Amino acid sequence: MTKDDPNTPNAMKSPLSRRTVLKGMGAGAALAAGGVLPGAFQGARAAQSLNYMCWEGYNAPAILDPFQKANDVQISVDLITDSAGGFAKLAAGAYRAFDLVSSDSPWIARMGPAGIDRFIDDAEFADQYAEFYPQFRAPFAPLQYEGKATGLPTRWGWVGPTVNTKFDKLETWSSYAPVFDPAYRDKICLLDWGDWPIMPLALYAGVNPYKELDKNELDEVRKVLRAAFKNTRAIVGDLAIAQKGLLDGSFRCLIGGGSYCTSSLRLAGHDYVQSIVPEPRNGLKQGIIWMEATGLLDNGNDPTLAKKFLKYIVSPDVAVKLAITEATCNLVPNQKAEALFTPEQKSALQMDYMWHAWDNSLFHTIAPNIDDMLAIWQEELAAR
């Protein structure tokens, strides 16, 4: 089955991975060339313009076109290839060329204190917060800095074991123990996605990766990664390959992806694939909540139109379009949007499970020792 195979589920036609798909598309190339990317307004010259840095999905024509036409504005998009790289580019001065940015929330949270993002007035967005689930309403702590918000949440999900229930029971994955069980040797797929597979295995080792770690705790991270590598040869960066292996039974479980790599498979009819969150272990939650957010860049221009777009992109109708994209499907913070999803879309997004996942997960932030943990991952990967 290949990317172009008509029998390939839509999800498997998706990018190689969240981190790799857009490599080569030339971050910034569109702006540098003055070009308009897919989805941009193609009519007569617009009276206004916005420059937008974002992940894939935010640039869908179904999202951008109505706003462009209604506001006589041309939106030029620069797709992010990785959140850290997007932050570095903006911090190096490119923020002056952009009006908005949609990225992983820890990086948006950094942008306000770094002087890249404008802090937003929560009162000005009171109507939008009122439509959000209570968990995301103001003051929303993950995006707050000294009582001020650096953006609004836009998409979210969780990281936990992704299981094909045709070949395994969900109950088996009430912990990460099977990752280390000889009975599952070479039946586990670790997604080679930076910190995402490291964090859940650290949690299983009893280490909270979101706090400052000492040498003993880093040694525990090394031990658990070494044990995981010993029990599997499948360390895969290509999401399509990982999903194919999951569907045909080559892999019993994917580690490091969670709902991000599950929902589109489920929407394509593979509703026997589920992402869950293991039970807390020794009092430590074993799941991770990830979130994307959108902020206003402090570029010296009038932010009026950018604020209007920010309100637009979190509105119920647009949130549904942002949730269900060609590349992937994800949850959104707008509670009113829930009524607009079809039953099939709700099932694909595992909405009946999302608050259990939330309650049993840590919120993803920048980990103080992430560089150490990534170095350990690479060292153990090279040594296995």
Q: Are residues 330 and 219 in the same domain?
A: no
Looking at residue 44, its pLDDT comes to 56
pLDDT value, residue 23: 29
C-alpha dihedral over 77, 310, 117, 326, to 10 degrees?
-40
> Is the residue at 17 inside a domain?
no
One-letter amino acid for residue 307 of the chain = K
Same domain, 92 and 139: yes
Q: Is residue 96 part of a domain?
A: yes
Residue 174 lies in a domain: yes
Q: How far apart are CA 261 and CA 79, in angstroms?
A: 20
Q: In the prediction, which pLDDT does 307 show? A: 98
Q: Domains in the chain: how many in total?
A: 2
- The answer to the question of residue 5 being in a domain is no
pTM of the complete model:
0.88
Residue 163 lies in a domain: yes
Question: Do residues 221 and 325 both lie within one domain?
Answer: no
Q: Is residue 7 part of a domain?
A: no
**Statement to judge: residues 164 and 304 lie in one domain:** no
Residues 169 and 151 in one domain: no
- With tokens 């997007």, the residue in question is 86
> Are 376 and 280 in the same domain?
yes
With respect to residue 25, please indicate whether it lies within any of the assigned structural domains.
no
Tell me how far apart the alpha carbons of residues 216 and 382 are, in angstroms, rounded to a whole number: 22
Instruction: Say how far apart CA 116 and CA 110 lie, in whole Å.
Output: 9
Query: Which residues in 45-60 are b (16+ Cβ under 10 Å) and which e?
Result: ebeebbbbbbbbbbbb
The answer to whether 71 touches 96, Cβ cutoff 8 Å, is no
User: Which CATH number is 374's domain given?
Assistant: 3.40.190.10
Q: Say if CB 101 and CB 86 are below 8 A apart.
A: yes
Indicate whether 151 and 298 sit together in one domain.
yes
Distances (CA, A) of 118 to 179, 202, 276: 43, 35, 36
Looking at the structure, tell me whether residues 73 and 144 fall in a common domain. Answer: yes
Task: Please tell me the predicted confidence (pLDDT) of residue 84.
Answer: 86
376 and 253 within one domain = yes
Q: How far apart are CA 36 and CA 78, in angstroms?
A: 10
Distance of CA 149 to the CA centre of its chain: 20
- d(Cα 323, Cα 57) in Å, to the nearest integer? 8
Q: State whether 261 and 178 are in the same domain.
A: yes
The answer as to whether 11 is a domain residue is no
- The pLDDT, as a whole number, for residue 30 is 34
Local mean pLDDT, 10-residue blocks, the chain (384 residues): 32 39 30 38 72 96 97 96 90 96 95 96 97 98 95 98 96 97 96 94 98 98 97 92 95 96 94 97 97 97 97 98 92 98 98 98 94 96 91
Which pLDDT score is estimated for 33?
33
- My answer on whether 107 and 52 are in the same domain is yes
Domain encompassing residue 75:
48-157+290-355
Bridge partners (DSSP) listed for residue 132 = 334
